[in-house]
């Protein structure tokens, strides 16, 4: 007897059940795929900006960068995210600039002294005793001259975004108190990889020795150098005061830190994204400058507690010894005019 198996109640039920099960499974798979697609699309909409610098996480610059990341996330509604790598995690300042140029890093903060090797006109900011005081330096940096310098690095694949306050740089030494330039005679002084810094220390009678910031503590301990020069917060946070017991506040340079992005990143951003970044940067700069003043006071107080002798020498003695460095640029008409413009800024 021929039997239609499809009409058997049990088999018919199983067939309907199996179809329903398969349909449900397919529906769930489709739903999962759709969710993953939406999730992936959402992830693609988020741009992560990698920012590296060489400072400690307690430094005012790092704290200001954290605020910048929070503001950027808020302004972009989560579309732009800032990832910060402090303490030379991705390399020295020079290496970070090189990574920016090839597009392997998005943003960095470097001293203007290091930047001069990549964007020559920035060298003007590192000339000794160029600025009358902090107020004068901000008038220059926040005005047309500072803006022109920031925007004049495109051909080096760099774009300047703003200047963080890095105060004034002064000498600190292990064993020899520096009261006059003559006290620097024969001393090996760590400097950045900056022609200006090298020439300045030579003019003052010292022996300039370029060493990376991350290696300086050990170099001081081992006697590779007799001292260095930097601002109070850097002297304090680096713990160099544990080795160097004299800090001479000659304040030879008012050298800012420069916040930069690569042109690779900047040109990939929409106009709206550029505006978000600009706005977050401006808030960050204002915040950092406020923190800096507090950090300077704290740093000087703390190193004194630790036994460091603070010396306040006659700055005029140091200034006179370095005047010739500025006059050396007379043959470079454009650069010398820039020096004069800075001096006349009020």
**What is the overall mean pLDDT for the chain?**
89
The domains of the chain are located at 8-36, 46-165+257-298, 170-252+303-318
Reported confidence tier of residue 40, pLDDT bands at 50, 70, 90: very low
pLDDT for residue 4: 41
Token representation of residue 187: 């001393």
Token representation of residue 55: 């400072």
Q: Are 303 and 234 in contact, with CB atoms under 8 Å apart?
A: no
318-to-129, 169, 179, 242, 310 alpha-carbon distances in Å: 9, 13, 10, 26, 17
| CATH fold of 46-165+257-298 | D-Maltodextrin-Binding Protein; domain 2 (3.40.190)
> Taken in order 305, 307, 308, 311, is the CA torsion positive or negative?
positive
Which residue is listed with tokens 């420069």? 258
**Residue 221 CB neighbours (<10 A):** 12
Question: Any idea which of 15-29, 54-68, 188-202, 317-331 has the lowest mean pLDDT?
Answer: 15-29
pLDDT for residue 44: 59
Token representation of residue 255: 């050298």
**Per CATH, the architecture of 170-252+303-318 is what?**
3-Layer(aba) Sandwich (3.40)
Sheet strand arrangement including 47-52: 80-85, 47-52, 107-111, 257-262, 158-164
pLDDT for residue 316: 96
Average pLDDT for 110-135? 94
267: left (phi over 0), alpha (psi -120 to 50) or beta: alpha
> Taken in order 328, 143, 255, 184, is the CA torsion positive or negative?
positive
Compute the half-sphere exposure of residue 334: CA atoms within 13 Å on the CB side of its CA: 3
Q: Can you tell me the distance from the alpha carbon of 172 to that of 309, in angstroms, rounded to the nearest whole number?
A: 10
With 80 as the cut, is the pLDDT of residue 10 above it?
no
Which residue is listed with tokens 């330039």? 181
Dihedral through CA 282, CA 287, CA 288, CA 292, nearest 10?
A: 150
Q: Are 108 and 51 in contact, with CB atoms under 8 Å apart?
A: yes
Q: Can you tell me the distance from the alpha carbon of 253 to that of 229, in angstroms, rounded to the nearest whole number?
A: 10
Angle at Cα 197 formed by Cα 195 and Cα 202, nearest 5°? 95
Reported confidence tier of residue 45, pLDDT bands at 50, 70, 90: confident
With 70 as the cut, is the pLDDT of residue 274 above it?
yes
Q: Can you tell me the distance from the alpha carbon of 86 to that of 216, in angstroms, rounded to the nearest whole number?
A: 17
Q: Can you tell me the distance from the alpha carbon of 319 to that of 203, in angstroms, rounded to the nearest whole number?
A: 10
Q: Can you tell me the distance from the alpha carbon of 65 to that of 143, in angstroms, rounded to the nearest whole number?
A: 22
Average pLDDT for 163-181? 97
The pLDDT tens digits for 311-332 are 999 999 999 999 999 888 999 9
| CATH topology agreement for domains 46-165+257-298 and 170-252+303-318 | yes
**Percentage of the chain modeled with pLDDT above 70:** 87
């Amino acid at each position: 007897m021929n039997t239609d198996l499809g009409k058997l109640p049990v088999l018919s039920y199983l067939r309907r059940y199996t179809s329903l099960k398969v349909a449900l499974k397919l529906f769930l798979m489709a739903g999962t795929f759709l969710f993953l697609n939406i999730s992936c699309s959402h992830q693609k909409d988020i741009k992560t900006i990698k920012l590296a610098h060489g400072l400690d996480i307690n430094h005012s610059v790092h704290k200001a960068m954290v605020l910048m990341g929070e503001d950027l996330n808020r302004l972009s509604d989560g579309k732009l995210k800032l990832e910060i790598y402090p303490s030379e995690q991705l390399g020295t300042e020079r290496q970070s600039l090189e990574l920016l140029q090839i597009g392997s890093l998005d943003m960095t903060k470097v001293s203007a002294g290091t930047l001069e090797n990549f964007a020559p006109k920035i060298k003007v900011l590192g000339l000794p005793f160029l600025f009358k005081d902090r107020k004068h330096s901000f008038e220059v940096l926040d005005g047309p001259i500072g803006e022109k310098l920031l925007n004049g690095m495109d051909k080096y694949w760099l774009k300047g975004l703003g200047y963080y306050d890095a105060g004034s740089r002064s000498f600190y030494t292990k064993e020899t108190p520096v009261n006059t330039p003559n006290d620097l005679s024969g001393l090996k002084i760590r400097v950045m990889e900056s022609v200006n810094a090298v020439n300045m220390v030579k003019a003052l009678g010292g022996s300039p020795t370029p060493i990376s910031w991350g290696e300086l503590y050990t170099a001081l301990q081992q006697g590779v150098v007799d001292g260095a020069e930097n601002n109070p917060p850097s002297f304090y946070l680096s713990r160099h005061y544990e080795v160097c017991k004299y800090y001479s506040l000659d304040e030879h340079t008012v050298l800012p830190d420069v916040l930069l992005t690569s042109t690779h990143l900047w040109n990939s951003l929409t106009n709206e994204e550029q505006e978000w970044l600009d706005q977050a940067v401006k808030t960050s700069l204002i915040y950092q400058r406020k923190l800096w003043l507090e950090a300077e006071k704290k740093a000087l107080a703390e190193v004194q507690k630790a036994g460091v002798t603070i010396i306040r020498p006659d700055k005029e003695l140091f200034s006179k010894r370095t005047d010739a460095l500025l006059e050396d640029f007379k043959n470079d008409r454009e650069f010398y005019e820039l020096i004069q413009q800075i001096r006349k800024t009020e």
